[in-house]
Chains A and B, each alone.
Chain A
Amino acid sequence: MSAEIRYISKPHPLTGVTNSKLGIWCFLASEIMLFGGLFSAYILLRTGVPNWPHGSQILNVPLATLNTMLLITSSVTMVMSWASLAMHNFANYRRYMAATILLACGFLVVKSFEYGMKFEHHMFPSKNNFLGIYFTMTGLHVLHVIGGIIVNTYLLFPGSKMWKTNPEQFMGRVEAAGLYWHFVDLVWIFLFPTLYLL
């Protein structure tokens, strides 16, 4: 008999939540500490020097505003894809999930333009502390966006077969992917003013 993970669709009697949900939240808690460490480093760098440049002098605020809009829209489409499953509308689930992935790709395209313009002007992470922490924080965030695109693409295509065999577990997966995606949006909500507007 294979050892299966229990309580992935039904709530565990002790916690009241599924083990999957407990798991993704523990992961997100560790992610909060990961990004927290970088925000802490940012504060240390910024308060350690007499003059810190205003983000808008170096970075492109309109492009970052566009990216903020793309990410918050993708957060809505993500939660709508989960809500569509809850309303047993699989066609809408696929539409909203596809929209989420496209918006995330749009974010990456805009971000690559931003990086490209910096590199053209020889503004690399090693140039100064501002660019160092900017590339570290946004780079780690971009890796998270790419991770989200991979998971969501799996759930849109091969992974969605599970909707027919085990709809409850599939909804749990979409919900967990959604929690992760909202977290990626949440990090950007703080990165945007910190790096670009202050």
Chain B
Amino acid sequence: MSHSAEEVQKHVRTYIAVFAALAVLTIVTVYISYLHLPTPKAIAVALFVASVKGTLVAAFFMHLISEKKVITSILLLTAFFLVVLLIIPSIR
């Protein structure tokens, strides 16, 4: 990734937009929790909002959107095993 001053300036605008989105989504997810939706629906909505927020942080603050393949492949492998880990409790 190159660090020319002009390019970084462009990044800064993105960071501020991401920050605004994260703040708004935090308020949205708290607001929704006060609506007392049925539990399965509430879990789905809350995890969806959290995933959007998480993706924004990973993609822009952690620069994954423009990261090299070696990093993204390590993370894909990790994501696979994370999913396995989260499925284990549902095996009966």
User: How far apart are A72's CB and chain B's nearest CB, in angstroms?
Assistant: 5
Whether B46 lies near A197 (C-beta < 8 A) is: yes
Residue among A44, A69, A87 making CB contact with B26, cutoff 8 Å:
A69
Residue among B26, B50, B61 making CB contact with A65, cutoff 8 Å:
B26
- The number of chain A residues with a CB under 8 A from chain B is 49
Whether A186 lies near B82 (C-beta < 8 A) is: no
Binds B, one of A32-40, A118-126, A132-140, A141-149: A32-40
Q: How many A-B residue pairs have CB under 8 A?
A: 125
Whether B54 lies near A182 (C-beta < 8 A) is: no
Q: Can you list, as one digit per residue, whether each of A72-112 has a CB less than 8 Å from chain B (1) or not (0)?
A: 11011011100100111000000000000000000000000
| A residues with CB within 8 A of B | 15-17, 21-22, 25-26, 29, 32-33, 36-37, 39-41, 43-44, 47, 56, 61, 65, 68-69, 72-73, 75-76, 78-80, 83, 86-88, 171, 178-179, 182-183, 185-186, 189-190, 192-194, 196-198
Q: List 8 A-B contacts (CB under 8 A).
A: A16-B70, A36-B81, A72-B22, A73-B19, A83-B15, A189-B53, A192-B50, A193-B46
| B residues with CB within 8 A of A | 3, 5, 8-9, 11-12, 15-16, 18-19, 22-23, 26-27, 29-30, 33, 39, 42-43, 46-47, 49-50, 53-54, 57-58, 61-62, 67-71, 74-75, 77-79, 81-82, 85-86, 88-90
